[in-house]
Structures are given as structure tokens and as C-alpha cells.
Amino acid sequence: MRGPSIAHIVLVIAVLATVPLLTASNAVLNFLIVALLIALVGQGWNVLGGYGGQYSFGHAAFFGTGAYVTAILQMRYGINAWPAFALGIASGALVGAAIGALTFRSGLKGSYFALVTLAFAEVLRILASVAPITGAGVGILITLDLRPQAFQFQSRAPFYWIVLALLAASLVIVRLIEQSRFGAWLVAVRENEDAAKAVGVDTVRVKLVAMTISAAITAAGGGFYVQYFLYIDSGIAYGPWISIEALLAPIVGGIGTVFGPLIGAVVVKTLGELTKLITGDAPGLDLVIYGGVLVLIVAFAPHGITSLLAALRIRFARLRPSASEGTHV
């Protein structure tokens, strides 16, 4: 399958990795950390939604599980942050596999799948808002312990490199999926599920594996969120905001492409910051912009910004020879 090579990914990540060496501005690093976090979460959504064509409206279920498990294991069971983070990812994957098994075995797709994932996220949100183990309405504060062993750092640069490393891993995973037989099956499911089944693809299994990988990547974002902000509650963990950002990034950037979620997250977050600059920190206005961007992208660039760039490149490529022909006449 066409797409960027691993060398491309390494190059992009290497360039991004130099940012903390160039600036020590907390504002810049904070902005980029959040953007990369959304890119990571969006990459999770992209595996299932972009390549598999299964649009989840409830990726908060995985984000929140990753976040809560990371936090609960540390604060309630005294487990070190790093293994807690790893277990958070595993739990997110498990929740993904469980929801996937239930929904795909029942043959849910399209709008039903979107609806049921939304409902699962809401059930988890309500449960987390009343259960004592999640701190109910109060949420969980992670005790300040600024040591690398505790996955906490004095400055923002290490956080930046960690989220960048996680993103790099997700980019490589997605690229490997693209090139693999499994990736071809997944795209076949997206394009025409009945036809895929007819040629012998175990479509339920393919979707299930995709959902598990997708959930794991998104859960990594949740675990990182907790370590970075040191706080989680039911509204942040399982709220609709993260489900929307998870799908917005790949759709804006380019659905079903390796770099789509990264490009989309940077664009969307930049728009959000600009809105805040212009209007002050008004609640809701950044989300108004996000919703508007979602409608506009679907209306005018259904394949995202990357496709616009590709179209531009083709136009330029066409312009050049026609210009040289012009000189002949």
C-alpha cells in the first residue's frame, strides 16, 4: 500500500524532537504536548475508523480506562507509575476487545456502532461519577512526586519527548498495519464488508483486532494525560470531549492515512488556541469551532487536509510542463 516509509516517520519525529532544544517556553511546549496527545488519541481512532471504516463516537471509553487504571493503581494500590501506565494501556485494550466482541458479534455497524460506543462511554462515565474507587465526583489527584521513576518531571521537555515517543510508536504501528495482510483485510472491510467476507476474510476477527489496537493506543493517551495533569475525574476521562477530539483529528488531517491524525491535531489545536486568543478563555467556543470545522471538512474536503495537499501537488506538477509548453509557442 502507498504511504510514507518508516524513514519518513523517523525524519518527522526527529525534527519534532528538536523543539525542546530550540525553545524553553512552557506555553509552546504545553501546546505541543496537548496537540501530540490528541494526535496519539486520534491515531487510535484512525486504526478503527480510518482504516476499518467503523466510526466510534465513544473512544472516551478507552481514554478514560487508560487514565483511571493508571491513576487508581498508583493512588489506591501503591504501584509504581510506569507499570501502572502499562497496565492502563492493557486495560484499555481489554475494554476495547470486550466492547468489540459484544458489538461486532451482534453485527452492529454504521450508525448502530456509533450509537453503542457512545452509550458504553456514557455508562462508564456515570459509573465513574458514583463509584468510590474512582473518587466519584471529586476525581483522583496524583500525589506530586517529581522524579522520573514516578513518571513525573520538573520540566515539560521530558513529557514532550515521551508523548512524542508514544506517537512515534503509533505511527510505526499504523504504517506496519498499512503494509500488512491484516491492513489489507481491514481496508477490505471498510470498502465492502460483504465482499470481504465472500473472499474469506474473517471480518469480525479483523474488526476485533483493529478495535483492540485502536483502544490500546487511545488508552496510552489517557494514561499519559493523568501523568501530565496529575488529575482525572469522570467528566475528563469519559466525557464526550475526548471522543470528539479523537475523531476530529484524523478526519481533519486525513482519514485512513499515517500522518492524518498528527496534521489534524496540530491544525485543530492551533484553531482552538487562536479562538482562545481572540475571544479570551470563553467556555465552549473552541468546541464550536471544532464542530464547525468538522462540518466544513466533511462538506468540502472529505479526505482531509492531506488530500488537499496532494491535490495541490498534482496541480503544481501539471502547471510546470504546461508552462514549459507555453514557451514553445
Tell me if 251 contacts another protein by CB under 8 A.
yes
283 binds another protein (CB under 8 A): yes
> Would you state the cell numbers that stand for residue 106, as one nine-digit string?
451482534
The distance of closest approach from Cβ of residue 255 to another protein in the complex, given in angstroms and rounded to an integer, is: 10
Instruction: State which H helix or E strand residue 232 sits in.
Output: strand 231-232
User: CA 91, CA 14: separation in Å to the nearest integer?
Assistant: 30
Question: Quick check: 107 binds another protein (CB under 8 A)?
Answer: yes
103 scored as a contact of another protein (CB under 8 A):
yes
Residue 40 in contact with residue 170, Cβ under 8 Å?
A: yes
| Degrees, nearest 5: CA angle 124-128-116 | 10
CB of 58 vs another protein, minimal distance in Å: 11
> Of 49-57, 76-84, 169-177, 216-224, which part binds another protein (CB under 8 A)?
49-57
The CA-atom distances, in angstroms, between 247 and each of 48, 88, 195, 201, 294 are 10, 21, 26, 26, 9
- In the complex with another protein, the residue whose CB is nearer, 282 or 319, is 282
Number of residues counted as binding another protein (CB under 8 A): 43
Helix axes 304-328, 240-253, angle to 10 degrees: 20
* 298 is an interface residue for another protein by CB under 8 A: yes
Asked if 268 contacts 41 with a C-beta cutoff of 8 angstroms, the reply is no
If you count them, how many residues does the chain have? 329
Exactly one of 291, 312, 314, 319 binds another protein (CB under 8 A); that residue is 291
- Binding another protein (rule: CB under 8 A), the pick from 10, 119, 165, 314 is 119
* Residue 191 in contact with another protein, rule: CB under 8 A: no
Which is closer to another protein, CB of 89 or CB of 99? Answer: 99
Residues 6+ apart with CB under 8 A from 68: 88, 128, 134, 140, 222, 226, 232, 237
Query: Could you tell me if 51 and 206 are in contact, meaning their C-beta atoms sit under 8 angstroms apart?
Result: no
By CB under 8 A, residue 195 contacts another protein: no
Q: Which stretch binds another protein (CB under 8 A): 4-12, 120-128, 173-181, 305-313?
A: 120-128
Exactly one of 200, 280, 284, 321 binds another protein (CB under 8 A); that residue is 284
If binding is defined by CB under 8 A, does position 285 make contact with another protein? yes
Element (H, E) at 292: helix 285-300
CB 110, min distance to another protein, A: 4
Interacting residues with another protein (CB under 8 A): 53, 55, 57, 102-103, 106-116, 118-120, 122-123, 126-127, 129-130, 244, 247, 251, 282-285, 287-288, 290-295, 298-299, 302
